[in-house]
């Protein structure tokens, strides 16, 4: 993409790509197009919050775009916000697993698998956080693209397997509920307005 060219007067720039003339001050570097507002960092938030709805082929096509440093990036605070959005779903999911850490499972193997799943989900959230910090430190775009492609594939496979296991285990545990679950509750004793 061609850079904006100064026209000699203070604050005036012409963007050869768009063909527009700007005179909005020193801080405005060039005209922005809609496609430039989308960076790999914003795609990372998308992939981590709605990963199952983003096909792998689409992600690979989008990851070919070059990073564009623009006014939409919020500097240090923007990176912190992106990091929080990236790891929050993993931490929330881990919290649900930790709540059920000491629950009674039908077999000891299922209890062990639940604990392994919880530890893996927690570790995955922490690895994602470390990866994001390392990614921001990388200046080599080629190295960043290779690292991101490998990371996304590993994350997608692991995350999908963990979610599938959680759903299956929840329904499997319904087979051995305690007998007290099936007792009829006298709702009239607990709700005052019903007689």
Q: Which of 160, 156, 138 is nearest to 147 (CA)?
A: 138
- On whether residue 12 sits in a domain, the answer given is yes
- On whether residue 195 sits in a domain, the answer given is no
Residues 23 and 113 in one domain: no
- On whether residue 127 sits in a domain, the answer given is yes
Residues 43 and 24 in one domain: no
pLDDT given at position 185: 72
pLDDT given at position 39: 53
Residues 1 and 82 in one domain: no
- Rounded Cα–Cα distance for residues 180 and 106 (Å): 16
Residues 10 and 62 in one domain: no
Query: Which range marks the domain in which residue 13 is found?
Result: 1-31
pLDDT higher than threshold 90 for residue 88 = no
DSSP letter for 3, please: P
Residues 70 and 95 in one domain: yes
Q: Which of 26, 25, 28, 27 is nearest to 15 (CA)?
A: 28
pLDDT band of residue 170 (cuts 50, 70, 90) is confident
Residues 53 and 19 in one domain: no
Write out pLDDT tens, residues 12-29: 444 444 444 444 444 444
pLDDT higher than threshold 90 for residue 141 = no
Residues 71 and 160 in one domain: yes
- Rounded Cα–Cα distance for residues 97 and 53 (Å): 23
Q: Which of 28, 30, 24, 132 is nearest to 83 (CA)?
A: 132
Which residues fall within 8 angstroms of residue 159, CB to CB, at 6 or more apart?
51, 90, 124
- Rounded Cα–Cα distance for residues 186 and 169 (Å): 31
Instruction: Record the tokens describing residue 88, joined without a space.
Output: 């929050």
Residues 15 and 55 in one domain: no
- How many separate domains does the chain show? 2
- Rounded Cα–Cα distance for residues 146 and 180 (Å): 55
- On whether residue 20 sits in a domain, the answer given is yes
Between 78 and 163, whose confidence is greater? Answer: 163
Residues 55 and 118 in one domain: yes
pLDDT higher than threshold 60 for residue 61 = no
- On whether residue 26 sits in a domain, the answer given is yes
- On whether residue 118 sits in a domain, the answer given is yes
Residues 118 and 100 in one domain: yes
- Rounded Cα–Cα distance for residues 20 and 5 (Å): 11
Residues 24 and 52 in one domain: no
pLDDT given at position 112: 93
Counts for the chain of helices (H) and strands (E), in that order: 6, 3
Residues 3 and 86 in one domain: no
């Amino acid at each position: 993409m061609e850079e904006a060219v100064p026209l000699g007067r203070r604050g005036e720039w012409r963007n050869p790509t768009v063909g527009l003339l700007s005179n909005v001050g020193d801080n405005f570097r060039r005209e922005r197009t809609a496609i430039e507002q989308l960076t790999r960092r914003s795609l990372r938030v998308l992939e981590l919050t709605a990963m199952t709805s983003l096909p792998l082929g689409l992600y690979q096509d989008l990851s070919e775009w070059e990073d564009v440093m623009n006014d939409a990036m919020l500097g240090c605070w923007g990176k912190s916000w992106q990091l929080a959005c990236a790891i929050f779903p993993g931490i929330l999911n881990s919290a649900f697993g930790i709540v059920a850490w000491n629950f009674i499972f039908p077999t000891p193997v299922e209890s062990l698998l639940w604990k392994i799943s919880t530890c893996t989900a927690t570790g995955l959230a922490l690895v994602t956080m470390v990866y994001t910090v390392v990614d921001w430190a990388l200046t080599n775009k080629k190295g960043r693209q290779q690292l991101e492609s490998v990371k996304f594939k590993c994350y997608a496979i692991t995350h999908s397997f963990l979610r599938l296991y959680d759903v299956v285990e929840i329904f499997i545990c319904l087979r051995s509920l305690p007998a007290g679950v099936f007792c009829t509750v006298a709702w009239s004793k607990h709700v005052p307005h019903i007689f």
